[in-house]
Chain A
């Protein structure tokens, strides 16, 4: 049964159950019917015997029984469904009705003994020609003396015929009923299981690579819930696969540019003899591109490991204000060439829980961006305060800024604004995605507000230690 379909199994169980019920029903019906019919026959035999006995008494137990009188007293006797025999006290036959005159049905010993004790006996026997009969031997006494034994018999053939017909009807009807109900069960099971088939087909198409498939369902029953759960699962699967595809397409696109440059520069240099300066320039350019590629690969690896939850984040107390001061010193160095100044505003002593190394990376990335996109001789301001149990760190620059469209995309992987693209110092487009990941793994947030041409403010919110 392991690989038989539920539909077939349901139908078989259904049909089998019904067949068993039908069998029990038919058997008991047959038994009850045959019993009732026999009782009916016995009762009518007794009635006839009692009547005949009374008639004999009226004739003062004369040796001759007048059948005509009997027929008059009991018109049903004339129907010839019964016969009468009168035996003498020794069991010898003295008189019998005409309808069995050709047959010989002697009194059994058992009936004779019972009659001597004054008891009536019912017997079922067959004529020699197999016709079944029911017999009642009824003793007639005068005082204590057995005068006669009256026997009344009746053919059981009508009863047998009736029972045969019943058996015939049950034999034909029961399997038919079972068949019809199995067909009905098959149909109903099919109807109930059709949504399951739909789900199976959809799953097969999805397995074949078509993730746009959905199961159409309107019902809110068990199957409907299964279908909608399934749809949700596929939607999530589709989204994550789309994300992976987008990610690998972006990754190969990002790697293609430095590859094109290194290949192009190298081939161009090899076309003919060049001066050592030209070779040096080509090698320097190539090194720059190789650095860019390895940075992209590193960051990609980091993000994919982060996606898989393989990056371990330490949970130690971190003095955020100290970290800000350290980063500020680095930012001053970074901004030296272009005279970009990084200043500290309000700096609340702050302790949070997290990974100092990652938090430094986060801060440095944001501050480095702020310095990079500042105008020459610009200023970057850093503030650290407490708001609603959170440490609020804001980094404000007065650089090129972003459009609101760019602000929405800035934390997406590989997104670079047009201005960032044409900026001299090329990023990988992954830095802010990593920043966002670091902030979020610390149960924090990172936001940006910006006005094109005026500058941007990045805000990082991180839970304070006591609230963490």
Chain B
């Protein structure tokens, strides 16, 4: 899952980024409103965290700009506690949720999870395919009751795939949602991580869940194989 932070205060942006990265999200930071709007429209993010007090372009304008480009990505706005009016305007302009500064890190992460869950149509919060279960809150992955240890990137890749169960995911789609802007698209990193995942999830099992779609990419689903 890939998240964009638009926040002009570098230290605020920095700790939000580190917190999200610890949760295996791919994170990009933008400190300027105008740039933030452009990048939000160009890249297919899963969530945007937007500070409403920004230089050059006010946050509200960024929000309207993003929505006018038909970008449906969930947006979480950060506002000042005293400004009720701003929150109302923000929500009316297309934001999905808000947090007032100063906020608790755990709340930010919980709201991010909630927005991602709603966007993928989940209701319980648990992702499951046959006996493979992923808990986005604890990051615990089990198959047939057996715990599977994953690295942060492997977890991020599996979560993205499980949120899109049955869909064919191309390599550009995967790179867009699991890796951040520093990702070099000309490497075979995705194929390497897919093989890591296969080793941990499908190897030695009766039924494979991760499938290669020749010429397109990969998919995760429950079929005989």
- In B166-216, the 8 Å CB interface with A consists of none
Asked whether, in the complex, the Cβ of A261 is within 8 Å of the Cβ of B16, the reply is no
* Residue A253 at the chain B interface, CB threshold 8 Å: yes
A253 to B82, CA, bound (A): 9
Given contacts A259-B102, A268-B105, contact A418 B11 (CB under 8 A): no
- In B11-48, the 8 Å CB interface with A consists of 11-12, 15-16, 18-19, 22, 31
Residue in A closest to B83 when the chains form the complex, CB atoms: A249
Q: Which of B9, B11, B31 contacts A285 (CB 8 A)?
A: B11
Q: Which of A249, A256, A268, A422 contacts B15 (CB 8 A)?
A: A268
A253 to B53, CA, bound (A): 10
Give the chain B neighbours of A252 by CB distance below 8 A.
Answer: 80, 82
A285 to B101, CA, bound (A): 18
A279 to B145, CA, bound (A): 37
Given contacts A264-B16, A422-B8, contact A257 B82 (CB under 8 A): no
Asked whether, in the complex, the Cβ of B22 is within 8 Å of the Cβ of A271, the reply is yes
Contact with B along A284-302 (1 / 0, CB 8 A): 0100010000000000000
* Residue A267 at the chain B interface, CB threshold 8 Å: yes
Given contacts A264-B102, A267-B106, A268-B105, contact A257 B12 (CB under 8 A): yes
Give the chain B neighbours of A257 by CB distance below 8 A.
Answer: 9, 12, 101
Asked whether, in the complex, the Cβ of A256 is within 8 Å of the Cβ of B101, the reply is yes
Give the chain A neighbours of B19 by CB distance below 8 A.
Answer: 264, 268, 271
Give the chain B neighbours of A253 by CB distance below 8 A.
Answer: 53, 80, 82
Interface size for B (C-beta < 8 A) is 22
From B18, B19, B102, name the one whose CB has the most chain A CB atoms within 10 angstroms. Answer: B102
A422 to B11, CA, bound (A): 11
Label chain A's interface by main secondary structure: helix
A271 to B81, CA, bound (A): 25
Residue in A closest to B100 when the chains form the complex, CB atoms: A256
Give the chain B neighbours of A256 by CB distance below 8 A.
Answer: 80-81, 101-102
* Residue A421 at the chain B interface, CB threshold 8 Å: yes
Give the chain A neighbours of B80 by CB distance below 8 A.
Answer: 252-253, 256
What's the nearest-Cβ distance from chain A to residue B16, in Å?
7
Asked whether, in the complex, the Cβ of B31 is within 8 Å of the Cβ of A264, the reply is no
Give the chain B neighbours of A267 by CB distance below 8 A.
Answer: 104-106
Asked whether, in the complex, the Cβ of B15 is within 8 Å of the Cβ of A265, the reply is yes
Asked whether, in the complex, the Cβ of B103 is within 8 Å of the Cβ of A422, the reply is no
Give the chain A neighbours of B22 by CB distance below 8 A.
Answer: 268, 271
* Residue B121 at the chain A interface, CB threshold 8 Å: no
Asked whether, in the complex, the Cβ of B8 is within 8 Å of the Cβ of A261, the reply is no
Asked whether, in the complex, the Cβ of A263 is within 8 Å of the Cβ of B56, the reply is no
What's the nearest-Cβ distance from chain B to residue A249, in Å?
6
From B31, B101, B103, B104, name the one whose CB has the most chain A CB atoms within 10 angstroms. Answer: B101
Give the chain A neighbours of B81 by CB distance below 8 A.
Answer: 256
Contact with B along A227-271 (1 / 0, CB 8 A): 000000000000000000000010011001101110111011001
A289 to B12, CA, bound (A): 11
A256 to B107, CA, bound (A): 17
Q: Which of B12, B18, B56, B104 contacts A261 (CB 8 A)?
A: B12
Q: Which of A260, A268, A418, A421 contacts B101 (CB 8 A)?
A: A260
| 26 residue pairs from A and B, CB less than 8 Å apart | A249-B82, A252-B82, A253-B53, A253-B80, A256-B80, A256-B101, A256-B102, A259-B102, A260-B9, A260-B102, A261-B15, A263-B102, A263-B103, A264-B15, A264-B16, A264-B102, A264-B103, A264-B105, A265-B15, A268-B15, A268-B22, A418-B55, A421-B8, A422-B8, A422-B31, A422-B55
- Identify the 3 closest CB pairs spanning chains A and B, nearest first: A260-B102, A418-B55, A267-B105
Binding site for A on B (CB under 8 A): 8-9, 11-12, 15-16, 18-19, 22, 31, 53, 55-56, 80-82, 101-106
Binding site for B on A (CB under 8 A): 249, 252-253, 256-257, 259-261, 263-265, 267-268, 271, 285, 289, 418, 421-422
Given contacts A256-B80, A422-B8, 15 further A-B contacts (CB under 8 A): A249-B82, A253-B53, A256-B81, A259-B102, A260-B12, A264-B12, A264-B15, A264-B16, A264-B19, A264-B103, A267-B105, A267-B106, A268-B105, A271-B22, A271-B105
